[in-house]
A and B are shown apart, each in its own frame.
Chain A
Amino acid sequence: SQQGEEDPQALSIQEGENATMNCSYKTSINNLQWYRQNSGRGLVHLILIRSNEREKHSGRLRVTLDTSKKSSSLLITASRAADTASYFCATDQGNSGGSNYKLTFGKGTLLTVNP
């Protein structure tokens, strides 16, 4: 069963704009991760945020986590055409004591960045 649910399912923006994708989940987690998948390729790990963290940055990526609402958001700033891909959130349903290494993925958000 799906643990993470991304919203929106699809997003189309112009180059230079910011893109925000959201993820909701159902059970407690040890960490939440975001992945990117280009068409016809494997998934690439972008960023991991632990359950005791609220915000994390990596380059043009900013991830927030609200465990009380069981939700996360991924912000891509100053988007580029090369950011066009599907973005997935994945939850590690371990607990604060540790990871269980097993990730459950949502169905993804398809982001299209128009040049």
Chain B
Amino acid sequence: DAGVIQSPRHEVTEMGQEVTLRCKPISGHDYLFWYRQTMMRGLELLIYFNNNVPIDDSGMPEDRFSAKMPNASFSTLKIQPSEPRDSAVYFCASSGDSNYGYTFGSGTRLTVV
């Protein structure tokens, strides 16, 4: 398995633009998580899914953020409109068994100018 795959690796966009981050979890993992990492706030859980259904989105900062998981092999995190304070590294992770922890993707570094 190629692991959790995220795209793009880097994204630079102008304030006000829509940004879409993509994630392909490990096949067979039925949990998917979106985290954001900044120096100031560390790793924050934004939302997670179980069997494609959103379970907890309490970490989503504002209505500008939305996430979907249309099928077991694909998820998106969308920011519309983007703002400079959204600049961060966004990680997707998946898990199939709580005994073995998460597998993280390589992250998307988002810069909003």
A residues engaging B (CB < 8 A)? 2, 30-31, 33, 35, 41-45, 48, 88, 92, 94, 98-99, 101-108
Contacts and interface: CB of A to CB of B under 8 A. Distances in A.
Contact of B104 (A30, A43, A48): A43
Interface of B: 4, 31, 33, 35, 42-43, 45, 48, 50, 56, 91, 93, 95, 98-107
B42 A102 contact: no
20 contacts: A2-B42, A30-B98, A35-B101, A41-B107, A42-B93, A42-B104, A42-B106, A43-B93, A43-B104, A44-B104, A45-B100, A98-B98, A101-B31, A101-B48, A101-B95, A102-B45, A103-B102, A105-B35, A105-B42, A105-B43
Given A102-B48, A105-B42, A108-B42, A45 B98 contact: no
Tell me the interface secondary structure of chain A in the complex.
Answer: strand
A41 B106 contact: yes
Contact of B100 (A41, A48, A98, A106): A48
B78 to A, nearest CB: 21
A33 B101 contact: yes
B98 A99 contact: yes
A44 B93 CA distance: 10
Contacts of B56: 102
A24 B95 CA distance: 24
A32 to B, nearest CB: 11
A42 B100 contact: no
B100 A101 contact: no
